[in-house]
Amino acid sequence: MTPKEAYLRAGKIHYEVCERSKSLIKPGASLLDIARKIESYIAEHPEASLAFPINLQLNNEVHYSPVPNDTRTITKEDIIKVDVGVHVEGYIADGAYTIALNKDYQDMVDFTEEVLRKTITGLKPGMKVSEIGKRLDKLMEGSKYKIIKNLMGHQVQQWDLHSTKSVFVYESSSPNTMEPGEAFAIEIFITDGAGHIKSSPTGMIYAMKKKLLPVRDTKIRKLCQIITEKRKSLPFTERYVTEHLGYSRVDFLNLKRSNNLNEYAHLLEIPGSKIAQFEDIIYMDKDKVIITTKP
């Protein structure tokens, strides 16, 4: 499979999985059950795997993935962002959608989806990456909402979720261009809050460090090797270690103590605010741009 074929296949699976997942989003639904169900949808495709933990982000939060024995559920007052990653041979489809259970926020959700659609329509290979931020600045003019400026899109490469080129959500002076064969995750977070996200003290998403420290414990050394072989530098959670690899929670805690993990913080907007998120992958073909995560 060529890189282009792998990107397109991952995108097709991603779209199908996300469409199926929308019926799971309802008041009373368990975040843990939703995550497991989406994981099972991906597992139905033997050529595909999870590119990063399922993110189920309520209201003012970003980068939340259910933990073991998670008891959180959706309520009719919530807005939820569903961020799913699929890879085929390491080539990634990364996309997100938002559902407002509380229809008072449907306008913000619709606005966010429209802004992303307008931003990526008509892009061409060879354009500067900064064209995306320039378009977003224009589209946000006069809006009652704010785009979260310290969250951005990113280039994706094989086994590399956040690669070399960043995609700022405001106009920048970056000289980078979008060249044939490259793929980018274009994602925006729009809020009725402050327009700035802050890290919380906790995180539930991890990735192996590229240079591992020596580990004396034989079992944990083996665990480091297994995750590195299966995930490379792609993110994972405690649930991946316990539910998918069959290790114990104690093993996971010992893995953390080995100092071989990067931890990604749970992110929060101001209390009481809401955030909508939409995201797609664009692939630079020779003469056109393909949105891989749309049919």
Q: Are residues 50 and 191 both part of a single domain?
A: yes
Q: Are residues 113 and 220 both part of a single domain?
A: no
Residues 72-97: pLDDT tens digits? 999 999 999 999 999 999 999 999 99
- Show the tokens assigned to 124: 């061409």
Q: Are residues 51 and 145 both part of a single domain?
A: yes
Residue type, 128: K
Residue % of the chain over a pLDDT of 90: 98
What integer is the mean pLDDT of 240-249?
96
> For tokens 């749970």, what's the residue?
266
**pLDDT grade for 7, boundaries at 50, 70 and 90:** very high
Closest Cα to residue 165, out of 120, 129, 133?
Answer: 129
How many structural domains is the chain composed of?
2
**pLDDT grade for 56, boundaries at 50, 70 and 90:** very high
Q: What sign does the dihedral 175-178-184-188 (CA atoms) show?
A: positive
φ/ψ (deg, to 5) at 87 = -130, 150
Q: Are residues 10 and 118 both part of a single domain?
A: yes
The model's pTM:
0.94
Q: Are residues 141 and 216 both part of a single domain?
A: no
Res 282: pLDDT: 98
CA distances from 274 to 62, 107, 145 (A): 11, 12, 10
Q: What range defines the domain where residue 252 resides?
A: 204-265
Q: Are residues 158 and 257 both part of a single domain?
A: no
Q: Are residues 276 and 132 both part of a single domain?
A: yes
Residues 96-151: pLDDT tens digits? 999 999 999 999 999 999 999 999 999 999 999 999 999 999 999 999 999 999 99
Average pLDDT, the chain: 96
Distance (Å, whole) CA 214 – CA 115 = 47
Res 97: pLDDT: 98
Q: Are residues 123 and 50 both part of a single domain?
A: yes
Q: Are residues 122 and 260 both part of a single domain?
A: no
CA 215 to chain centre: 30
Q: Are residues 261 and 277 both part of a single domain?
A: no
DSSP 123-153: --TT-BTHHHHHHHHHHHTT-SSEE-TT--E
What integer is the mean pLDDT of 234-240?
97
Q: Are residues 159 and 42 both part of a single domain?
A: yes
**pLDDT grade for 55, boundaries at 50, 70 and 90:** very high
CATH number at residue 178: 3.90.230.10
What integer is the mean pLDDT of 67-74?
96
Residue type, 234: L
Res 43: pLDDT: 97
CATH number at residue 210: 1.10.10.10
Res 231: pLDDT: 94
Q: Are residues 252 and 281 both part of a single domain?
A: no
**pLDDT grade for 19, boundaries at 50, 70 and 90:** very high
